[in-house]
Amino acid sequence: MTESFDADWLELREPFDARARSPMLAQALSAALPARPRLLDLGAGTGSLFRWLAPILNRPQAWTLVDADVTLIEFAFDTIAMRAAAVGLEVSAPNKRTLLVHTPAGAWRVEGLVMDLADAPRGLPLGRADGVVCSALLDLVSRRWVSRMAAGLRLPFLAALNVEGDARFLPPHPADGIVARGFRRDQIRDKGFEGPALGGAATRVAAAAFRANGFSVTTAPSPWRIGTGETRMLSELARGHAAAAAGQMPRSAAAITAWLTAREARARRGALRAMVGHGDLLALPRR
């Protein structure tokens, strides 16, 4: 079973994801898609990529949100409907599996597909899609998974927010290196995708795999920049790093606990900021 994430964490990170993703690559994807595109969103979670990308596409479109966690798909439907209604858009549900968001640019159709992505692209309805997208997924998967995806696709592929490099918490702390080493080890453990996860190598490995299969590949940086006033995100980020590091380096537990205590105290005082490196990738089949 592939790794899943808590809806509260996915909601918390959504605005940081939205301001980090590359609009340039999104516009390039939009230009490569047909007038009424059909998109598969892999590891869709709470639907945050849909909420960011659908307005950029800004035309009639159909999405299939693919996730192994049915609870997250249900949460995504509820959140999409609620946020659409909050900005004055009409929402309808012609059946239990379909949501329609009615916009001035045309209807956005959303469906869900419960599926473990470990064997993808096997099992995906690629024949009914014009593009495949994902966010914060490729750093979880293995080299073998990416190679199979690149070989099996002949559609535009956008992979946003792939982890690149270490998180930087500022100002520095003496135990930063210990936490970073432990977190890096956690990033590359097997996440259920047929081998060690790519972690910080995800963008580079995926770019090479898609180029080897005849795609034109463009990448762009998409770092999180978290300011001193964003206390909750800073605290959750520090807790996540500390927990991952402690799981990999139990002998350093005391140093990691002290690091977390210091980081949370700084966050509460408005004296902590952070940057987390990410990269976006767009692969387009050559015509």
CATH number of domain containing 67: 3.40.50.150
pLDDT tens digits, one per residue of 103-145: 999 999 999 999 999 999 999 999 999 999 999 999 999 999 9
pLDDT at residue 222 in the model: 97
Query: What is the distance between the alpha carbons of residues 101 and 89, in angstroms, rounded to a whole number?
Result: 7
Please tell me the predicted confidence (pLDDT) of residue 3. 62
Whether the per-residue pLDDT at 14 is higher than 50: the answer is: yes
pLDDT tens-digit map of 135-172: 999 999 999 999 999 999 999 999 999 999 879 999 99
pLDDT of the residue at 1? 47
Q: Quick check: is 232 in a domain?
A: no
Please give the C-alpha separations between residue 39 and each of 102, 108, 229, 248, in angstroms, as whole numbers. 17, 11, 36, 37
Q: For residue 112, what are the CA distances in angstroms to 108, 242, 254?
A: 13, 34, 44
Over residues 66-83, the pLDDT tens digits come to 999 999 999 999 999 999
Residue 248: predicted pLDDT? 97
The answer to whether 142 and 196 have CB atoms below 8 angstroms apart is yes
User: Do the domain assignments include residue 270?
Assistant: no
pTM score of the predicted model: 0.95
Q: What are the residues facing 62 on neighbouring strands?
A: 38, 109
φ and ψ at residue 123, rounded to 5 degrees: 90, -15
Work out the mean pLDDT of the chain and round it to a whole number. 96
> How many Cβ atoms from other residues are within 10 Å of residue 88's Cβ?
6
User: Phi then psi for 130, rounded to 5 degrees?
Assistant: -110, -10
pLDDT tens per residue across span 29-88: 999 999 999 999 999 999 999 999 999 999 999 999 999 999 999 999 999 999 999 999
| Cα–chain center distance at 204 | 16
Residue 6 is predicted with a pLDDT of 85
Residue 255 lies in a domain: no
174 has pLDDT over 90: yes
Do the domain assignments include residue 186?
no
Which pair of structure tokens corresponds to residue 252? 């350093």
The beta strands (E) that lie in the chain are given as 38-42, 61-67, 90-95, 98-103, 106-114, 131-135, 157-170, 215-221, 224-226, 273-285
Q: In whole angstroms, what is the distance from residue 39 CA to residue 157 CA?
A: 10
pLDDT of residue 47: 97
Which of helix, strand or coil describes residue 17?
A: helix
Q: 19 pLDDT exceeds 90? A: yes
Give the number of domains in the chain: 1
- The β-bridge relationship of strands 98-103 and 106-114 is antiparallel
pLDDT recorded at residue 165: 80
Q: Per the domain annotation, does 261 fall within a domain? A: no
Could you tell me where the DSSP H helices lie in 188-252?
202-212, 231-248
Q: Identify the residue whose tokens are 């090479």.
A: 208
How many other β-carbons are positioned within 10 Å of the β-carbon of residue 2?
A: 20
- 81 near 91, Cβ under 8 Å? yes
Confidence of residue 4 (pLDDT cuts 50, 70, 90): low
Burial of 104 (0-12, 13-18, 19+ CB in 10 A): exposed
213-222 pLDDT, tens per residue? 999 999 999 9
Cβ 159 vs Cβ 262: under 8 Å: no
Instruction: Pick 104 or 5 by higher pLDDT.
Output: 104
Does any domain span residue 35? yes
Please report whether residue 15 resides in a domain.
Answer: yes
Which has the closest alpha carbon to 191: 228, 235, 252, 146?
146
Q: Would the pLDDT of 287 be above 80?
A: no
Residue 144, in any domain of the structure? yes
Model confidence pLDDT, tens digit, residues 183-208: 999 999 999 999 999 999 999 999 99
- What pLDDT score was predicted for residue 166? 79
Q: Which domain holds residue 79?
A: 7-165+192-225+277-285
Cα–Cα dist 104/224, whole Å: 32
Alpha helices in 21-161 (DSSP H): 23-32, 48-57, 70-86, 143-152
